[in-house]
Every structure is written in C-alpha cells, then in structure tokens.
Structure 1
Amino acid sequence: MHQGRTTYHHGALRDELLRACLRLIETEGIGAVSLRRVAREAGVSPGAPYHHFADRATLLAELSTQGYKQLAERLAAARNRAGEPAPALAALVQAYVEFARSEPGYFHLMFRPELSTSTKSPDVHQAGYVAFNVLADAVGDCVLAGTIAQRDASAVALAVWGLGHGLASLWVDGHLDEGEHKLSESPEAAMARIAGLVETALGRAAPPASS
C-alpha cells in the first residue's frame, strides 16, 4: 500500500487526493476508486477527502477536468509547432495518441459516459469543449487554406477526432503490440505513418479557384 503523508497543507491535500485518485485509476482501474481508498492511498484519514470533494463523482469530475486541460495544452502546442494547416491536423492526431499513452489514467476517465453530460459535470464539459476547439480551429485553418471545403469542416473534425481517439484506445488497451492484431511495425512507426497519410491526403486537396 502506498505510504503517503498523514498531514498536508489545505491546498496540498486537495492536490494529493487528486494524484492519489489518478494512481488508483492507472494501477487498478476506475472501479477501485472510492473516497476511502483515495484517502488510504494519500495516507490521510478516511474523512479528509470530504473537506474537498462531496462524493466520488465530484472527485472524478475534477480529475477529468484536469485531464482535458492538459490535453488542450498538448494539442495547442502541437498545432503551433506544425505551423501549416495540413501538418497541424496530422500533428494533432499524434499528440492525441501521445497524451493517451503518457496519461492513461486521465484518458480512461475523461470519456466516461457519466461525465459527458454538461448539466451534471459543467466544468468537464467546458474543458472538453476547449480541447475540441483546438481541433476545430485547425480544421478552420485548412478551410482558409483551401484544402478542406467549408461544407466538410465538421465531418473532417469528427473524422480526425475519431481517428486519434480510436488509435489511442487501441494502443493504450494493448491491441497494437500483442495478440492477433499485432502490427508488423512498431506502434510508434505506425502512428507516424498514419499522421503522414493524413497530411498527404489533405495536402493533395485542390485549392478553390480564384475569383
């Protein structure tokens, strides 16, 4: 069992409870999370989490919000590094997968159905909206560059998001490097190849005729 500190500054305790919850998700899964288990993982009394979180759902919602904020930061950084519109969309696919690989606890939590309803978890919903808008803005850049038609913008955004999420799920859940679906190349090489195909496909689109 994790041996945590028994006392924390008020703000530090809240942060440590969130870290303890994330550790539990990564090692034992979301089903293992309860406020009592989180308290034990953090090395504090069973009642300590209630000073910061009303219940398990509140704790998970706060952790999910953190995850979306981190994802948005990574996506924005990837888009800025890429520079050009088509490479930016390809970079977003890779950044999405890399986030899932490096933060599997967040990734497994963020898309839980009970956290996707805006009326129940408004902060989670808003943080997710900000992350998705990085992708939407990158698609908008492609529209302005003439590589995507305006009428196709929403469909392309959904397709890129679905591609990134699907690849991330397959990799994090171990389907790409073992079993009957094991790749003939490393997952890293496959991700780079897929990102390159996305960039190539968008780069081949013909710009609109000038007026």
Structure 2
Amino acid sequence: MIHDMGGKYHHGDLRAELVRVSLDLIAERGLGAFSVAEVARRAKVSPGAPYRHFRDKETLMAAIATEVACRLAGKVRDAVEAESEPVAALAAAAGAYTEYLIEHRAGMNVIYADGLQGPEHADLHEQTRRLTDQFVMLCLTVTDRPQDGLELMEQLFTQAHGYGTFHLDGVFTKQGYSKEIVVRKSVEAARVAIEGRRKR
C-alpha cells in the first residue's frame, strides 16, 4: 500500500507498482488512454513521483512493454508445452496470444509502441526475442524454407492479433461470440494457415 505522509510516499516497490497500475489502465481503457499523470493518480502518488523511477514516458512504456512481452512469452510457452505435435502447438500458441490480448488489451500494439525500438531498451528487446523465438522455431519446424517460416510467423501474429482486436472492438460481440469462441476460432485459423504452408 502507498501512504501519503506530508508529500512523502512509502511503497515497497513503487517502480513495480507503477508498471502494474499502467497495465491495469491499458487493460481497462486501451493503450490510447495511457498517460503518466493518470498512472500517478491511480497509484495515489504525486504527478512527479513516476519520474523518480522512470526518466520519461517512453521509459515507463518500455518497462510496461517488457512486462507484456514477458507475460506473453510465458503464456505461449505453457500453450506450446501442453501439445505434443508441432502444428497443434503452433496453433495453440496463436490462440494464447489472442486470449492474452483480449484479457489485457496488450500485445504487439504495446511491445512495438512508438519510441521503443532504440538500443537503450535492451530488456524489452530480449523479452520480445523470447516471445518471437517460440513462434519462429515452431514455424521453421513445419515449413520447408526459412523464408516460409518467417512469413508464417508474421501471418500467425497478424491473425491472432486481428481476432483479439475484433473482439475488443465489439465486432465479434455483435455476432454473439464469447471470448472462448474467439480464441477457438483463432486457433482454427492458425491451423489452416500452418497447413497451407506446411512441408510438402
């Protein structure tokens, strides 16, 4: 808990709390609603407090994106490990991405947000590699050529994100689709895409 003591704040780990509150804000209202001022307000600290831990908004966003990439990598890993066959594992990974996006409004839109591509965000790039490596290694397993594997990975991420975004934007809600149905459809679409590029 954060305590306001005459302008002084006590928190076990304010840096981690700011990232947590940021993720909650994005999950609730989307990336477009993110602001350092709103994060500070929700964390019950002064507007300047976040800047004691993060140089600027970009640095805080990089920490948020790093956490998203780390969590996504873990969710994808669990989905892959639950399957014994490469096509099923890869399709399940795509479904895991869609599910996480629906639940948290965070995926590649956060990881590749403007301003986060520089070398100063090494932790983010490392976690992003962890995430994408899981996909690319499986894609290379089921395709003939490296280029086919990379294109398949791109297609799977695009499809998985699209399914999640359609749900979040209310497109699928109008069709009466639950989150579970959307995730299942994402998995099925991934399987079709994989079979279309599979080794002959």
Residues 34-183 of structure 1 aligned to structure 2 (within 5 Å) = 34-105=35-106, 108-115=109-116, 117-119=117-119, 121-142=121-142, 148-151=143-146, 152-178=148-174, 182=175
Counterpart in the other structure of 1:145? none
User: TM-score with structure 2 length normalisation?
Assistant: 0.81
Indicate the residue corresponding to 2:26 in structure 1: 25
Which letter does structure 2 place at the counterpart of 1:54? Answer: R
Paired amino acid for 1:150: R
Q: For the Cα contact (< 8 Å) 2:160–2:186, is it kept in 1?
A: no
The amino acid that maps onto 1:131 is: L
**Higher radius of gyration, 1 or 2:** 1
2:188 corresponds, among 196, 206, 210, to 196
State the alpha-carbon separation in 1 of the partners of residues 59 and 73 from structure 2: 21
Q: What is the aligned-residue RMSD (CA, Å)?
A: 2.8
Q: Percent identity?
A: 28
Corresponding residue SS for 1:22? helix
What is the CA–CA distance in structure 2 between the aligned matches of 1:139 and 1:50, rounded to whole Å? 41
- Taking the aligned partners of 2:184 and 2:95, their CA distance within structure 1 comes to 7
Partners of 2:91 and 2:188 within 8 A in 1: yes
Deviations 1:74-113 (A, max 9, x none): 1111111112101011101110111111212566533323
Q: Verify the 8 A CA contact 1:71 1:96 in the aligned structure 2.
A: yes
Shift of 1:28: 4.1
Letter in 2 for 1:149: D
